[in-house]
Amino acid sequence: MATNSTMNEALYATLTESIPGFLISDFLKCQRLPSLPSVALRILQLIQSSTATINDFSGSIEHDPALTARLIALSNSVHHTRSAIPALTCIEAIQRLGLDATLTAVLSFNLFQHSHPGAHHTYIWQRSIMSALMARQLAEQACPDQAGSAFTTALLQDIGILALSATYPEQANELYANKALPHHQLIKEEQRYFGCDHAVIGAWLAAKWGIPSSMVNTIHCSHARYTNSTLRELCVRISGPMADACLSSAPEEPLAALLHDLTTTVGMPSFSLENVLEDVQPKMAIIAKALNMEAPATVDSKALLDNAQQLLLDHTLMLNSRRESKYNKELRILRKMYAMPGRDSDDSPSSAKT
């Protein structure tokens, strides 16, 4: 039976073959390519375990004294201090921050500290955090035992954009400047620019780091269709479009498109999107403040969903009206054709012999 290490090497080789050679060459030469220290990888492995305790996470983080000091300082910041007693240990810091915020902070310290500056980097990290929170809440509804893994995978699903931005900063500034560009369209533009998209590149980078294969595969297919997916993969795939909607200046339209996809996909679990939105927004605000990041605007969850559903209904009625109009037009043409002078009545459908 193949070991996990062998499986990772095979997956890495497969992903390498799916990326144009010039990209691989440039990535490997890039001094600013995102990387993860061993402590972060240990934490990502712990996330996969349903039996991991807060002591396990604390023990892993404490192997990096500098990271431990930053987490303690963060937990004692004005955004988290609810007591005059400061956190003095790593485990106290994790308890105060919460596991999601701790993991987000650890990855933020490592993935974004050397990022090329640009407005799109802030947006990518906002989207990643919001997607992660949404993926966790969706998984709590569909597959609770995989909620932590769904959070982490969604948080990392766009790391391919970081790799492209670090390696090709000028092209990235041009490509990612339009935050309103739908994600599926963004992928098409990446394929036009680079010959592949950030989901493939992100999976390659994750495999290179040694992240567990199941997470690598989920990153690889994070922007795929909703069919033929595990529950965890489904939660991650839905989380991205949901985050895009919440970060949009006109959230009703992309949310209506998501609702359409969910209602027309066979075998889709019944998700309460209102609960997801209500749960995620306050958590997003807390994490954004902790990381000194602008928090997305708060929305009325119920009103947003009601408006999106009405928009979807209006769109459906409009399509039905167009179909009916087209049908009536074709029917009038058909009737006119059969009513033409000189047409043999025996040619009509009603006179056809059986």
What number of other Cβ atoms are within 10 A of residue 77's Cβ? 13
- Asked if pLDDT for residue 321 goes beyond 90, the answer is no
Instruction: List strand residue ranges (DSSP E) for 85-199, in order.
Output: none
Tokens linked to 286: 């807390």
Q: How confident is the model at residue 221 (pLDDT cuts 50, 70, 90)?
A: very high
Print the SS3 string covering 204-242. HHHHHHCCCHHHHHHHHCCCCCCCCCCHHHHHHHHHHHH
Q: Among residues of the chain, what percentage have pLDDT more than 70?
A: 83
Averaged pLDDT, 142-154: 91
First to last CA, the chain: 66
Q: Any idea which of 80-89, 166-175, 295-304, 325-334 has the lowest mean pLDDT?
A: 325-334
CB-based contact 210:218 (threshold 8 Å): no
Per-residue pLDDT tens digits for 108-145: 887 766 555 566 778 888 899 999 999 999 999 999 98
Q: Among residues of the chain, what percentage have pLDDT more than 90?
A: 36
Q: Looking at residue 138, what is its pLDDT?
A: 96
User: In angstroms, rounded to a whole number, what is the distance separating the alpha carbons of residues 240 and 329?
Assistant: 41
Long-range contacts of 48-53 (CB under 8 A, 24+ apart): 48/148, 48/149, 48/212, 48/214, 48/215, 50/145
Averaged pLDDT, 277-292: 86
CB-based contact 156:208 (threshold 8 Å): no
User: In angstroms, rounded to a whole number, what is the distance separating the alpha carbons of residues 26 and 24?
Assistant: 6
What number of other Cβ atoms are within 10 A of residue 293's Cβ? 16
The residue ranges of every structural domain in the chain are: 4-301
Averaged pLDDT, 76-104: 80
Class of residue 299 by CB neighbours under 10 A (exposed 0-12, middle 13-18, buried 19+): middle
Q: Is 21 helix (H, G, I), strand (E, B) or coil?
A: helix
- Asked if pLDDT for residue 237 goes beyond 80, the answer is yes
Q: How confident is the model at residue 74 (pLDDT cuts 50, 70, 90)?
A: confident
Nearest to 134 by CA among 264, 300, 272: 272
Enter the DSSP assignment of 296.
P
Tokens linked to 285: 């605000």
What number of other Cβ atoms are within 10 A of residue 241's Cβ? 22
Q: Looking at residue 352, what is its pLDDT?
A: 45
- Asked if pLDDT for residue 318 goes beyond 70, the answer is no
**Verdict on whether the full-model pTM lies above 0.75:** yes
- Asked if pLDDT for residue 279 goes beyond 80, the answer is yes
- Asked if pLDDT for residue 342 goes beyond 80, the answer is no
4-301: CATH architecture? Orthogonal Bundle (1.10)
Q: Looking at residue 275, what is its pLDDT?
A: 93
Q: Looking at residue 289, what is its pLDDT?
A: 79
Q: Which residue in the block uniquely carries the two structure tokens 């974004």?
A: 112
Average pLDDT, the chain: 84
Tokens linked to 107: 């990855």
Per-residue pLDDT tens digits for 2-30: 444 445 888 999 999 999 999 999 999 99
Q: Any idea which of 41-50, 208-217, 302-311 has the lowest mean pLDDT?
A: 41-50
CB-based contact 295:284 (threshold 8 Å): yes
Enter the DSSP assignment of 80.
T
Nearest to 137 by CA among 235, 62, 208: 235
Q: Looking at residue 296, what is its pLDDT?
A: 85
Q: Which residue in the block uniquely carries the two structure tokens 């889709």?
A: 268
